[in-house]
Amino acid sequence: MFDWLLNHPKADFDAGQLTFASTLSPWLLVALALLAALLLGLSLWRRKQDLSTNKLWTLWTLQALVATLLLILFWQPSLKINSISAGENSVVVLLDSSASMQVESQGASRYATAVDELTTSIIPALEKHFSVKTATFGNQLNWVDNLPTPAGNTFEQRSNISTALIDVLDQARVNPLTAVVLASDGSDNSQAITTAFWDELSNYNVPVHTIGIGRTNLPDDTEVVSVDLPSTAMPGSVQTARVTVQHGNQESLRVKVYSGDDIIAIEERTLPKKAGLTTIDVEISAEKTGMQALRFEAEASASDISPQNNSRSRLLQVAEQKRKVLYFEGEPRWEYKFIRRAMHKAPSISLVTILRTTPNKFYRQGIESPEQHAGGFPETKEELYLYDAVIIGNVESVSMNAIQQQLLHDYVSERGGTLLMLAGDKALSDGGWQNSPVAKTLPVSLLKSGQPTYSRVHAKANLTGAGNYSPITRFIANPAENESQWSILPELADFQRTGESKPGANVLLTTTINNRDYPLLTHQRYGKGNSYLLATSGTWRWQMQLPSEDQHHETFWRQLLHSIAATAPQQMQVSSDRQIYLDDSTVKLSATLFDKRFNPLSNGVVTANLTSPEGTKSTVVLAASAEEPGIYSVNAEAPQTGSWQIDIEAQDSDKKLISSSTSWVHREDGTAEYYALAQNDDLLKRIASSTQGKYHSVEDAQSIAETLRTARSGIVREQTLPLWNAPLFFLLLIGLKLLEWFLRLRWGRL
């Protein structure tokens, strides 16, 4: 209707400028219109005795509008636009042919829908004004003379929108390119959509018009969206995998965990009545050292459209190397005895204890040599930084000199170690630690009143919301059952008051004394490390007042020491950009290397030995970073699918071994395209807006050709389009005169 009324499409008006083709001045038009209105007014004023004032005003307005409209037509209204030169500009139609485009909706695949829309309406309309080139892309760009039919297309297992777009836009450097029309579901698993891509995309100044293919919401698809599981664990620990599943409106959902062909865990959850996301916690026992290849699988519903995305793989590496914990205790006491007993059979923790028996004499257990720590608490970084965690028991601050206190502070903030402080009549505020630099690291403030803070009092450990999900204080995965487990524990024998928890601290346990809640077990990050404070020395009562076979006390202390030791960085830290590589054979390895004082080591030699699933070996050398001291990296190829073992060794400049590490990555092919199957319209809209293009749904994509006809890219020419002969003006003239005639007839004044 718009095109018929004004002889030209709306896109021309959006891009053009209204003007007059007549050489006469527009001010003359205004003057003549005012003069005509004045003369018409005088003519009607003579008949004021026949009509009322309101009727005269109505007739004058209609006649003045007709006169003004006739004058405007005499001045020849026109539309000035910059339009592309027909046949001298090109448009690239880029079609996604990756595997996700095979997903069916309403009886047709996404690819078939896109081909039908492009070939029947969009491309023919574009060919009237442009030289149209066509290409498809999956992992790479493929130029084609005609878009392949669904039966003739080879669908690729990766989609790389970013590389395909940049390759196409490179044409703009040598050939006039008006625009790119991208038809896709927005799926991209290339890992290449980065800040650099967005910067480069906008620099071409070529609009990209996107056509979104497929539904933006797939409530009927069951998909394992993510599995949050630590990549490493200590032997004997229990790890919780948080499995997030997208589901339909089925009543329940079951998640199974496979290790090879064996089911090692099953968790079932009653679902909300509507489709959405649900997170299910599954406990995984890390018993044997080595690597476990796990598969998390959600049972499909009857309406599931893609069973390929119902599972995800994860690797759990159970560390063979023990973590080292140093425990410095000021006197023999029950807590000390029961902590050592609890950790006696913990294979992943090497517990070294220094027990002060007299002011200058120490009883040491777990040491590697008779000379180790003979003088008590370490005084050098080389000695202290060997440990992943340090526990300070019932020890007053003056038992350490100023150097040792600052060393303990730096151990947390710079080395990245973990500090755990326990309660006691010579500990915390009662031991003067509030005046030590160590107090800065603690997650709670220490009282400075001078009054004793440690007291023999019955105190019940209460689980907080955060504690219910912490691996330290979780006896069982189910939150309600875990709370029940804590409720049966006996009361503690003592408690030490502290100040409030610091901003950012995480309170896992509390206790109530005289109707007031106090933090009992608190954690916070400090610098590169962590600190914990347990404001009691009475957890041993959990063992003494429960049956001998009860394991709550042992479990708590093992989980606590596992957690505090596991976060500390090692002398060499190895990582890959991903643990699971879907349809991607390039593994990006990096290593961070420190010396014994945990300063970055830049002159090391780091090599990686890769063992394929078939047992073949290859070796690559990690290159040192010129910008970041101590950082080494390499891109290694892992062509075969399966789990790859990566053994990394670091040597100093004298070829002396500094550290070694073993890690794993997993390769899969043919799966990446089946995750996140809903149309990623956010990505397509951002591509369009970043290039001054426009996002279209399939239903409104036919307007692209008219939009591009007035584009500013490529070779353009100025064109003046006449408007005076548009039907709208003649309809207005006839309508105004008919309205005047109708009113005169009604008033009896023809």
At 460, the amino acid letter reads K
Q: At residue 708, does pLDDT exceed 60?
A: yes
pLDDT over 70 (residue 294): yes
Q: What is the pLDDT of residue 86?
A: 52
Distance CA 485, CA 482 (A): 5
Given a contact cutoff of 8 angstroms between Cβ atoms, the answer to whether 325 and 564 are in contact is yes
How far is residue 425 CA from its own chain's centroid?
47
How much is the pLDDT for 172? 65
- Are 260 and 405 found together in one domain? no
CA atoms within 13 A on the CB side of 648: 28
Q: Are 91 and 180 in contact (CB under 8 A)?
A: yes
Q: Tell me which of 66 and 593 has the higher pLDDT.
A: 593
Q: Which helix (H) or strand (E) holds 198?
A: helix 195-203
Give me the percent of the chain exceeding a pLDDT of 90: 55
CATH code of the domain in which 464 resides: 3.40.50.880
* Whether the predicted pLDDT of 346 surpasses 90: no
Question: How confident is residue 153, by pLDDT bands cut at 50, 70 and 90?
Answer: confident
Residue 107: what pLDDT? Answer: 79
**578 and 509 share a domain?**
no
Phi, psi dihedrals of residue 378, rounded to the nearest 5°: -55, 150
Looking at the structure, do residues 682 and 562 belong to the same domain, yes or no?
no
Cα(273)–Cα(98) distance, rounded to whole angstroms?
34
Asked if 584 and 548 sit in the same domain, the reply is no
Q: Which of 318, 353, 370 is the last residue of a domain?
A: 318
Q: Are residues 157 and 299 in the same domain?
A: no
pLDDT tens digits, residue range 663-699?
999 999 888 888 989 999 999 999 999 998 999 998 8
Co-location of 615 and 689 in the same domain = no
* Nearest CA-CA partner of 495 in 423, 544, 420, 433: 423
Domain that holds residue 278: 223-318
Quickly state the pLDDT bin for 726 (edges 50, 70, 90).
confident
Q: What is the pLDDT of residue 629?
A: 93
The pLDDT assigned to 276 comes to 87
What pLDDT, on the 0 to 100 scale, is given for residue 442? 97
Same domain, 44 and 163: no
Q: Tell me the C-alpha distance between 101 and 104, whole Å.
A: 8
Q: What is the predicted pLDDT for the residue at 37?
A: 79
238 and 310 in a common domain: yes
Together in a domain, 402 and 505: yes
Q: What local confidence, expressed as pLDDT, does residue 308 receive?
A: 86
Using the Cα atoms of residue 505, residue 511, residue 512 and residue 518 in order, give the sign of their dihedral: negative
For the domain that residue 613 is a member of, what is the CATH number? Answer: 2.60.40.1930
pLDDT-derived band at 15 (thresholds 50, 70, 90) equals low
Q: What is the pLDDT of residue 182?
A: 96
Is residue 22's pLDDT more than 90? no
Strands of the 177-184 sheet, one edge to the other: 141-144, 131-137, 90-96, 177-184, 208-212, 695-697
What total number of domains does the chain contain? Answer: 5
The predicted-structure confidence for 520-550, as pLDDT tens digits, reads as follows 999 999 999 999 999 999 999 999 999 988 9
Domain final position from 654, 673, 692: 673
Domain identity same for 667 and 682: no
- Look up residue 113 and give its two tokens: 């829908």
Q: Calculate ∠ Cα 637-643-646, nearest 5°.
A: 60
The whole-number pLDDT of residue 185 equals 94
Q: What is the CATH number of the domain that holds 126?
A: 3.40.50.410
Alpha helices in 81-184 (DSSP H): 110-117, 123-127, 161-169
Residue 454 CA to residue 536 CA, distance in Å, equals: 9
Q: What is the pLDDT of residues 373-431, one digit of tens each?
A: 999 999 999 999 999 999 999 999 999 999 999 999 999 999 999 999 999 999 999 99
Q: Give pLDDT tens digits for 390-401.
A: 999 999 999 999
The answer, yes or no, to whether residue 487 has pLDDT greater than 80, is yes
Please check whether residue 580 is in contact with residue 675, taking contact to mean a CB–CB distance below 8 angstroms.
Answer: no
List Cβ neighbours of 372 (8 Å cut-off, separation of 6 or more): 352, 364
DSSP track, 701-728 = GGGHHHHHHT-SSSSEEEEEEE-TT-HH
pLDDT at res. 443: 97
If asked whether residues 71 and 184 sit together in one domain, one would say no
Q: How confident is the model at residue 171 (pLDDT cuts 50, 70, 90)?
A: confident
Helix (H, G, I), strand (E, B) or coil at 12: helix
| Beta bridge partners of residue 501, listed in sequence order | 444
Mean pLDDT score of the chain: 88
pLDDT at residue 537, rounded to an integer: 96
Task: Examine the fold and report which residue of 271, 286, 318 is the final residue of a domain before the chain moves on.
Answer: 318
Task: Work out the percent of the chain whose per-residue pLDDT is above 70.
Answer: 95
pLDDT of 717 reads 58
Same domain assignment for residues 313 and 402: no
Q: Report the distance separating Cα 692 and Cα 209, nearest Å.
A: 8
